[in-house]
Amino acid sequence: MTPLQPGSTIGILGGGQLGRMLATAAARLGFDVVVLDPEPDCPASRVCARHIVAAYDDAAALESLADACSVVTVEFENVPAGALEVLIARGVPVAPGPRALSTAQDRVEEKTFLNTAGAPTVDFRPASTAEEAIQAAAALGGRVLIKTRRDGYDGKGQAWAETAGQAAEVFRSLGARPVIVEAPAAFRRELSIIAARGWDGAMAAFPLAENLHQSGILRRSSAPAEVEPSRAREAEDIAHRILAGLDYVGVIGIELFELQDGRLLVNEIAPRVHNSGHWTQDGTATDQFEQHIRAVAGWPLGPVEARARVEMENLLGEDVLRWPGLAAEPNARLHLYGKREARAGRKMGHVNRVFPL
């Protein structure tokens, strides 16, 4: 794709904090951003050039987004497939494309793709009935994590079954919807790699981050993670295989388990910028948001080497009330999302504490 000229317009489906930070990065490179999001006061609406307030399946609104933009991207993976079809039919390039999104929307399709692409995962089985869930759990050794195939996020839509017998009850508690039954990953720690691919196939991966989750929500990331160089190369190879396998354009977040024996398994992929990549805003010359905008705009990818060590802490709910103290910390950079209401567990902002390498 011919590089977009500064002054061109980029569309984003979704106006949450990721859309807000993407829009800010795009503006710094001279682009205008149009956001489509049903929420009139969404975080991105206050930093973008134009906000189309409409549902993601509103065909007329999608057409007007397509007409206004040279390329359209997304800030969340659960965009209805039909929305992308409307955009593409209207002639606007969409990155990442429908295949990457549909793969990431369904945990069974996702893990099936990953294994085919040479990116190892835990053993898993699909199940659509309580009986199938019991059989899957028994086949995987009894204790399993059961997740809804679709629409889960931040640890929602998943629960452990301690025995195969319990799998039926867990299946019902998740709404008796199609699920994936996963073998437990005995991980030493959770890592992630954020990588990008351009329209021309060029790829670049940021250094690994080490992540700490509580109740399924990311609390802290620390980067660059301390890993053997061979392990870092292995993670990069995995990222390259996934990006190439999906013919992907843009930034992708890849969550990894590091097992006790050092092997890496992929937990899941997020076809977008990722919370565990927020450290790059203060740790690399090009952050993940700018990298994504560069990729979708057909610009060269920017440098990804760490220039600092960063400890990122998510500010959930009332954590955000600590902003005066955080603002006074000399090595802390505060990133707030402009959300009006600090509901419990809601991602309100994050702080990057920056240290020399």
In the complex, least distance from residue 98 CB atom to ligand AMP, rounded to whole angstroms = 22
Buried-exposed string 140-153: b where 16+ CB fall within 10 A, e elsewhere: bebebbbbbbbebe
Q: What is the 3-state secondary structure (H, E, C) of 131-189?
A: HHHHHHHHHCCCCEEEEECCCCCCCCCEEEECCCCCHHHHHHHCCCCCEEEECCCCEEE
- When the beta carbons of 9 and 267 are compared against ligand AMP, the nearer one is 267
Positions touching ligand AMP (CB under 6 A) are 122, 145, 152, 155, 158, 182, 184-185, 190, 213, 216, 255, 267-268
In the complex, least distance from residue 298 CB atom to ligand AMP, rounded to whole angstroms = 31
CA pair distance 221, 223, nearest whole angstrom:
7
CA pair distance 20, 35, nearest whole angstrom:
9
- When the beta carbons of 154 and 200 are compared against ligand AMP, the nearer one is 154
Element (H, E) at 16: none
In terms of Cα–Cα distance, which of 296, 298, 270, 274 is closest to 287? 274
- When the beta carbons of 75 and 258 are compared against ligand AMP, the nearer one is 258
In the complex, least distance from residue 317 CB atom to ligand AMP, rounded to whole angstroms = 19
DSSP state of 262: S
Instruction: Give the number of other CB atoms < 10 A from CB of residue 285.
Output: 12
CA pair distance 10, 192, nearest whole angstrom:
27
In the complex, least distance from residue 259 CB atom to ligand AMP, rounded to whole angstroms = 10
- When the beta carbons of 103 and 267 are compared against ligand AMP, the nearer one is 267
Partnered with residue 217 across adjacent β-strands are: 214
- Indicate the residue whose CB is closest to ligand AMP: 185
Strands 332-336 and 217-223: unpaired
- When the beta carbons of 216 and 303 are compared against ligand AMP, the nearer one is 216
In the complex, least distance from residue 213 CB atom to ligand AMP, rounded to whole angstroms = 5
- When the beta carbons of 11 and 277 are compared against ligand AMP, the nearer one is 277
- When the beta carbons of 24 and 211 are compared against ligand AMP, the nearer one is 211
- When the beta carbons of 145 and 167 are compared against ligand AMP, the nearer one is 145
CA pair distance 357, 73, nearest whole angstrom:
33
C-alpha gyration radius of the chain:
20
In the complex, least distance from residue 22 CB atom to ligand AMP, rounded to whole angstroms = 21
In the complex, least distance from residue 242 CB atom to ligand AMP, rounded to whole angstroms = 16
Residues 302/286, Cβ–Cβ less than 8 Å: yes
In the complex, least distance from residue 78 CB atom to ligand AMP, rounded to whole angstroms = 13
CA pair distance 67, 91, nearest whole angstrom:
9
